[in-house]
Amino acid sequence: MSEDVFLQELVARLEGADEAVVVPPGDDCAALALGPDLLQLLAVDQVVGDRHYHLTGEQADPPGLAGRKLLARNLSDIAAMGGTPAYALVAVALDPGHDEAWLNRFLQGIIDLGAVYNVRMIGGDLARTPADNVASLTIVGTVPRNQVCCRKGARPGDALYATGWFGASLETRHHLNFSPRCAEGRWLAASGAVTAMIDVSDGLLLDATRLCRASGLGLLLDTQAIPPRIEGLAEENMLGDGEDYELLVALDPEQAGWIEAQWPFSEVPLTRIGTFEPSQSPRVRRQADGVALDATSGGYDHFRGTPVEGVH
Amino acid sequence: MSEDVFLQELVARLEGADEAVVVPPGDDCAALALGPDLLQLLAVDQVVGDRHYHLTGEQADPPGLAGRKLLARNLSDIAAMGGTPAYALVAVALDPGHDEAWLNRFLQGIIDLGAVYNVRMIGGDLARTPADNVASLTIVGTVPRNQVCCRKGARPGDALYATGWFGASLETRHHLNFSPRCAEGRWLAASGAVTAMIDVSDGLLLDATRLCRASGLGLLLDTQAIPPRIEGLAEENMLGDGEDYELLVALDPEQAGWIEAQWPFSEVPLTRIGTFEPSQSPRVRRQADGVALDATSGGYDHFRGTPVEGVH
């Protein structure tokens, strides 16, 4: 069962609708109505020791970076909805090999990044495990109702843009050090030009396919336009390495030029990398030769198992 | 580090105040202002396989009961604030020894209890672990601002009441089968007679001590009045076994008689078990002989380690 199927299963088992749930499970966040003009965003994400970061051994990552990553992953989900983060609740299940000193540094990593993004901790729980170290964080944020960005909504002819760079997240330690694109997501959402948005956690190709599936479209992907995180990266790395935590955003093509010209984040590129097209299946084709790209061969689904090359 | 200290540490590291956080971390739930008259309640809790339930071996508990317990523990936190639960987000980190069939039954246990308590799943995350099975759930609810019940607020002379029965939670499987006291908590909160409330997860004595600490009081505890879950239970079991998930509620003594007379839950007793008294320390004394009861020798703190007698 993939994460996508997990959420589909959850939704399928729920009876009836709840009009207060404006965006149901399956997007980057769920959205609840806080009032006529405001939505509350909620999402949960986890980090598992020696899966999402190195907990043990000579390569062990600083615990503060592990905590930082836990919050940052959740902030990226808020960013993908065009929202502003506000509060977090954290649950830690600590393994027998790590003590309060480790925990304190882990929490400080959350709190320090929280201070940058104006996120306040409002709850927590602690447990001990037999062997593993698992932590989850629930993020709470807001977004104006008329600005919320979902995975569905892209139209044929819409342009696909990406923030930042792709690939090599593990070896560059980007997966621990990344800056969630909250300001960028808010700016895009406020522009009124966004028709769909998602953050790239499991690989550009897999997350682009999710946009296609939610919107009922195909995508022509200009793989040569994708900015590599480091020089000389192969296409498959940019498409499949994952943990980029960049935004993929579908823009009204008539407004794309204006968006590009006004883009205020000089240190983060906004690059056109594709065009949505009508399609019976959520197919991504390479623009240069029209060949279909297979999302199942690339892309990282955290639920399928540890990737061959190391920790994600 | 105990759970209490964990939360105190979190709060101590936060700079400044946020007036939207009406009840800060450290109570059963945090409370955010949703409007002038309504608060949103949020809390997170976990279950760890072979700690909070039997995951492996001949005694393995049905996975649906493990999922049920995860939601039920969170519902009990909502009950303790006088609130109504509404939404939940669940994160599961699954061990290699359990498959989708196990996961499906675990989730169904959450969904089935959610249907009884009108709780809708709005988000989820899945991961795989090297060895352990850990799940966390964040609960979201509401309470009228003028009805919210906290751990602080009890006054000298207030009467301490308890719902239900105490002790032997493990051997009776109460820790898996309990009914969170949401309706009881709401009724009490709406009565206007509550000055403080908490749910009993870590043992009557430890959680009564938390009420005392938050309210700056001592407590005379009528241990002979405590209803035992099964006949013949020793005082130490009723005080320290934990996982009772009953409510301890401080009532204005002048209204206690009216509350007892009007109590509408015929299947759940509401029993007077003590009286708050002025004290320099959050001390609980046995009413019969005035002897101080030591909360550190009884009570179950989920963070200290696996209890000797089995899974909590």
pLDDT in tens, B179-208: 999 999 999 999 999 999 999 999 999 999
Lowest mean pLDDT of A222-231, A280-289, B292-301, name the range.
B292-301
Output the CA–CA distances (angstroms, integers) from residue B268 to B162, B180, B183, B246, B275, in the order listed.
Answer: 10, 11, 11, 10, 21
Lowest mean pLDDT of A7-16, A61-70, B51-60, name the range.
A7-16
CA distance A202 to A185: 18
The predicted pLDDT at position A300 comes to 47
Of the candidates B10, B34, B124, the beta carbon closest to that of A10 is on B124
Average confidence (pLDDT) over A242-250: 98
Q: Who wins on pLDDT, A163 or A300? A: A163
If contacts are CB pairs under 8 Å, which of residues 190-209 in chain A contact chain B? none
Note whether B134 contacts A134, CB cutoff 8 Å. Answer: yes
Average confidence (pLDDT) over B159-179: 97
Average confidence (pLDDT) over A2-16: 65
Note whether A123 contacts B89, CB cutoff 8 Å. Answer: no
Strand locations in B95-232, DSSP E? Answer: 120-128, 134-144, 159-163, 194-199, 217-221
From the CA of A267, how many Å to the nearest CA of chain B?
A: 29
Q: Which residue has the tokens 């509408």?
A: B264
Q: Is A131 on the interface with B (CB under 8 A)?
A: yes
CA distance A63 to A49: 10
If contacts are CB pairs under 8 Å, which of residues 48-67 in chain A contact chain B? 48, 50-52
SS3 content of chain A, % helix, strand, coil (to 5): 30, 30, 40
Note whether A51 contacts B124, CB cutoff 8 Å. Answer: no
Torsion of CA A160, A164, A165, A170, to 10 degrees: -120
The predicted pLDDT at position A252 comes to 97
- Predicted confidence (pLDDT) at residue A3 exceeds the cutoff of 90: no
Note whether B136 contacts A126, CB cutoff 8 Å. Answer: no
If contacts are CB pairs under 8 Å, which of residues 286-305 in chain A contact chain B? 302-305
The set of residues, in sequence order, having a beta carbon less than 8 Å from that of B222 and lying 6+ positions away, is: B272, B273, B274, B275, B287, B288
Average confidence (pLDDT) over A258-269: 98
A63, with CB counted inside 10 A (0-12, 13-18, 19+), is buried
Q: pLDDT band for position A12 (50/70/90)?
A: low
Query: Tens digit of pLDDT for each residue in B12-67?
Result: 666 566 788 999 888 999 999 998 999 999 999 999 999 999 999 999 999 999 99
Note whether B121 contacts A14, CB cutoff 8 Å. Answer: yes
Query: Tens digit of pLDDT for each residue in A119-147?
Result: 999 999 999 999 999 999 999 999 999 99
- Within 8 A of B132 by CB-CB distance, chain A residues are 93, 95, 129-132, 134
The predicted pLDDT at position B25 comes to 83
ipTM beyond 0.85?
yes
The predicted pLDDT at position B305 comes to 39
Give the number of A-B residue pairs with CB atoms closer than 8 Å.
Answer: 207
B84: β partners: B142
Note whether A32 contacts B3, CB cutoff 8 Å. Answer: no
Note whether B14 contacts A125, CB cutoff 8 Å. Answer: no
CA angle, residues B172, B62, B129, in degrees to nearest 5: 120
Q: Is B172 on the interface with A (CB under 8 A)?
A: no
- Predicted confidence (pLDDT) at residue B298 exceeds the cutoff of 60: no
Note whether A42 contacts B140, CB cutoff 8 Å. Answer: yes
From the CA of B252, how many Å to the nearest CA of chain A?
A: 29
- Predicted confidence (pLDDT) at residue B283 exceeds the cutoff of 70: yes
Output the CA–CA distances (angstroms, integers) from residue A216 to A27, A149, A272, A284, in the order listed.
Answer: 15, 16, 20, 12
Q: Which amino acid is at A62?
A: P
- Within 8 A of B87 by CB-CB distance, chain A residues are 21, 30, 32, 42
- Predicted confidence (pLDDT) at residue A32 exceeds the cutoff of 80: yes
A91: β partners: A125, A136
Average confidence (pLDDT) over B74-95: 97
Q: Which residue of A has its CA nearest to B304?
A: A128
Query: Tens digit of pLDDT for each residue in B88-118?
Result: 999 999 999 999 999 999 999 999 999 999 9
The predicted pLDDT at position A301 comes to 46
Q: pLDDT band for position A258 (50/70/90)?
A: very high
- Do the Cβ atoms of B221 and B286 come closer than 8 Å? yes
Identify the CA nearest to B140 among candidates B116, B122, B115.
B122
- Do the Cβ atoms of A94 and A128 come closer than 8 Å? yes
- Within 8 A of A304 by CB-CB distance, chain B residues are 128
Q: Which residue of B has its CA nearest to A17?
A: B120
- Do the Cβ atoms of B146 and B206 come closer than 8 Å? no
Q: Which residue has the tokens 């072979």?
A: B50
The set of residues, in sequence order, having a beta carbon less than 8 Å from that of A164 and lying 6+ positions away, is: A181, A227, A244, A246, A247, A268, A269
Average confidence (pLDDT) over B137-158: 98
Tokens of A43: 């999402």
Note whether B130 contacts A45, CB cutoff 8 Å. Answer: no
- Within 8 A of A29 by CB-CB distance, chain B residues are 123
CA distance A233 to A223: 12
The predicted pLDDT at position A11 comes to 63
The predicted pLDDT at position A13 comes to 66
The predicted pLDDT at position B16 comes to 62
CA distance A53 to A92: 15
From the CA of A202, how many Å to the nearest CA of chain B?
A: 13
CA distance B114 to B111: 5
Output the CA–CA distances (angstroms, integers) from residue B30 to A88, A246, B148, B155, in the order listed.
Answer: 11, 31, 11, 22
From the CA of B224, how many Å to the nearest CA of chain A?
A: 32
Note whether A132 contacts B93, CB cutoff 8 Å. Answer: yes
Q: Is B115 on the interface with A (CB under 8 A)?
A: yes
Query: Tens digit of pLDDT for each residue in A152-167?
Result: 999 999 999 999 999 9
If contacts are CB pairs under 8 Å, which of residues 74-113 in chain B contact chain A? 87, 89-91, 93, 95, 100, 103-104, 107-108, 111
A125, with CB counted inside 10 A (0-12, 13-18, 19+), is buried
Of the candidates B10, B51, B125, the beta carbon closest to that of A128 is on B51
- Do the Cβ atoms of B184 and B269 come closer than 8 Å? no
The predicted pLDDT at position A294 comes to 85
CA distance A134 to B136: 10
Query: Tens digit of pLDDT for each residue in A69-100?
Result: 999 999 999 999 999 999 999 999 999 999 99
B162: β partners: B248, B271
Note whether B130 contacts A30, CB cutoff 8 Å. Answer: no
Mean pLDDT over all residues of chain B?
Answer: 92
Q: Which amino acid is at A93?
A: A
Strand, helix or coil at B72? helix
